[in-house]
Amino acid sequence: MNTTELINWQTFKSKLKENPELTLQFQYAEDKWVDASYHITEIKQAPIVSVDCGGVMNTWTEIIVQLWEPSVRDSERAMQVKKALSIVELVEKSLPLNPLAIVKIEFGNSQFDTRQMYPGEFIIDNGNFIVNLSPDFTQCKAINRGGSCGTTETGEECCTPATKEEKPKIQLINFAAEGATCTPGSGCC
């Protein structure tokens, strides 16, 4: 998995701990905010085991923080970071969370299909701790490794043009003189 810019649980949690008194806000698209009445409904730990199109097994763990907007707004102000941390503490009493797991935030509402997004930039602004969310993405792990994605039944690679080298054709030449050859049943062999 390409994790060069993804945030792990340990980093995410430490950023929260640095700002307990701020209000925790999530921006899921430009000028689109998770409603202030959101709840953190659950925190999931998902071990992933996969085999990619190049035939290589991959494993990693994700921590998914699920946000929910109630149909009836029950708060004008988003929760403080310290309340989110108290939920984390409650979860971690029952489920030890992998500190190196990749963090995703799961959210959706009536205008935005539910999806998992990555915490991107953290911004502190006017008493708010803002987590800008970035869309999840698909990738070809085999190509990212510099390889190819396996082959089809005819030997063609599925993601990149196959570089097939033409094998040189070998021409057989008979150096034996006419008539001086050994044939089956002639007794010469």
pTM given for the model: 0.75
| Residue 118 and residue 103 in contact, taking contact as beta carbons nearer than 8 Å | yes
Give the model's pLDDT for residue 106.
Answer: 96
Query: What is the tens place of the pLDDT at every residue in 106-136?
Result: 999 888 899 999 999 999 999 999 999 998 8
- DSSP at 139: -
Using CB atoms within 10 Å of the CB of residue 76, give its burial: 0 to 12 exposed, 13 to 18 middle, 19+ buried: exposed
Give the model's pLDDT for residue 44.
Answer: 98
Q: Is the pLDDT of residue 179 over 80?
A: no
Mean residue pLDDT across the chain: 85
| Residue 120 and residue 102 in contact, taking contact as beta carbons nearer than 8 Å | no
CA-to-CA dists, residue 171 to 5, 9, 182, 183, angstroms: 56, 64, 21, 22
Instruction: Indicate left, alpha or beta for 150 from its phi (over 0: left) and psi (-120 to 50: alpha).
Output: left
The sheet that has 32-33: what strands, in order across it? 32-33, 23-29, 128-135, 112-125, 102-109, 57-68, 39-51
Q: What are phi and psi of 50, to 5 degrees?
A: -140, 160
57 or 4: which leads in pLDDT: 57
The upper half-sphere exposure of residue 40, i.e. CA atoms within 13 Å in the direction of its Cβ, equals 23
Query: What is the tens place of the pLDDT at every residue in 39-82?
Result: 999 999 999 999 988 888 999 999 999 999 988 776 678 999 99
Give the model's pLDDT for residue 22.
Answer: 97
